[in-house]
């Protein structure tokens, strides 16, 4: 059993060694310990200190050890590998955590930007409704301003009048304060009587009423379909 040492650093401990000698043809051949110029460690040839030079090969000291020392060296080597692996895994986990934090931060910024655009009118209500989960739940008492979007019972609402919310002014009942944002999943939502300019139908808006489909033919449409400002869809 041997310990291979290079410049005071242990390259490894082995039970047996492959002794080699440089032959006349320039190749290495296996030989006895007495005739050896070098040893093979982990697939590489090393020059043995005190033996004829082997140009291009690092020099090592080959030190015989007993079985107890060999087992201790093996245990130490295994512990060193385990420590190295644990350190590498910890570094990888730390890097992954940092990456997740970065992605999370970027996602948060993107969400904030999306909400800000939607509430400023930079995005249409259909697009906003497709990402309703990005908007906060309605709550009280909160001072809401015109244009803010909030979720309530799974539906996205738009604030149409500045106010401080109260428990009994929920978006689904306070039509003068909130209007339902367009639902992208519903092409022909039921017509609802507008109460002002804030919830009047735009030209091209689609609704269903009295079993028929209607398209608004005017802007700021507050009339009932079939009375004025609507064209019946025949398809």
Residues 26-32 have a mean pLDDT of: 92
What's the half-sphere exposure (Cβ side, CA atoms, 13 Å) at 172?
Answer: 6
The yes-or-no verdict on residue 124 having pLDDT over 80 is no
Average model confidence (pLDDT) across the chain: 87
Could you tell me if 112 and 168 lie in one domain? no
Could you tell me if 135 and 113 lie in one domain? no
The yes-or-no verdict on residue 50 having pLDDT over 70 is yes
H helix intervals, the chain: 67-119, 125-130
The yes-or-no verdict on residue 104 having pLDDT over 80 is no
Could you tell me if 107 and 18 lie in one domain? no
In this prediction, residue 2 carries a pLDDT of 87
Boundary of a domain, candidates 108, 123, 138: 123
In this prediction, residue 183 carries a pLDDT of 66
Tokens of 63: 């030190």
Check which CATH number belongs to the domain holding 200 and give it: 2.10.10.90
Report the percent of the chain where pLDDT is more than 90: 37
In this prediction, residue 49 carries a pLDDT of 93
- The model's pTM is 0.44
| Residue 10 or 209, more confident | 209
In this prediction, residue 184 carries a pLDDT of 59
| Residue 1 and residue 13 in contact, taking contact as beta carbons nearer than 8 Å | yes
d(CA 157, CA 182): 9
CA 78 to chain centre: 35
| Residue 194 and residue 201 in contact, taking contact as beta carbons nearer than 8 Å | yes
Look at strands 178-180 and 44-48 and give their pairing: unpaired
Q: What is the number of domains present in the chain? A: 3
Would you say the C-alpha torsion 24, 26, 32, 33 has a positive or negative sign?
A: positive
Residue partners of 28: CB distance under 8 A and separation at least 6:
20, 21, 22, 38, 45
Could you tell me if 116 and 129 lie in one domain? no
| Residue 38 and residue 54 in contact, taking contact as beta carbons nearer than 8 Å | yes
In this prediction, residue 173 carries a pLDDT of 92
Range of the domain at 152: 125-232
Residues 106-127 have a mean pLDDT of: 83
Boundary of a domain, candidates 29, 45, 65: 65
In this prediction, residue 198 carries a pLDDT of 67
Which pLDDT tens digit goes with each residue over 160-200? 999 999 999 999 999 889 988 876 556 787 787 877 776 78
């Amino acid at each position: 059993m041997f310990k291979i040492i290079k410049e005071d650093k242990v390259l490894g401990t082995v039970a047996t060694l492959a002794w080699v000698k440089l032959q006349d043809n320039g190749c290495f051949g296996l030989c006895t310990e007495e005739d050896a110029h070098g040893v093979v460690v982990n697939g590489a040839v090393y020059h043995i200190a005190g033996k004829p030079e082997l140009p291009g090969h690092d020099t090592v000291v080959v030190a015989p050890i007993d079985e107890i020392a060999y087992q201790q060296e093996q245990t130490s080597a295994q512990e060193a590998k385990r420590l190295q692996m644990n350190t590498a895994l910890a570094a990888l986990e730390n890097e992954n955590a940092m990456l997740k934090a970065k992605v999370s931060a970027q996602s948060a910024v993107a969400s904030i930007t999306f909400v800000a655009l939607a509430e400023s009118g930079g995005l249409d209500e259909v697009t906003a409704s497709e990402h309703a989960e990005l908007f906060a739940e309605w709550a009280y008492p909160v001072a809401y301003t015109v244009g803010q979007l909030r979720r309530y019972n799974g539906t996205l609402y738009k604030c149409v009048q500045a106010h401080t919310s109260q428990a009994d002014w929920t978006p689904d009942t306070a039509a003068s304060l909130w209007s339902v944002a367009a639902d992208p999943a519903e092409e022909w939502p039921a017509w609802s009587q507008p109460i002002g300019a804030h919830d009047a139908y735009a030209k091209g808006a689609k609704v269903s009423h009295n079993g028929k489909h209607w398209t608004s033919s005017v802007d700021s449409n507050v009339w009932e379909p079939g009375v004025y400002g609507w064209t019946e869809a025949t398809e």
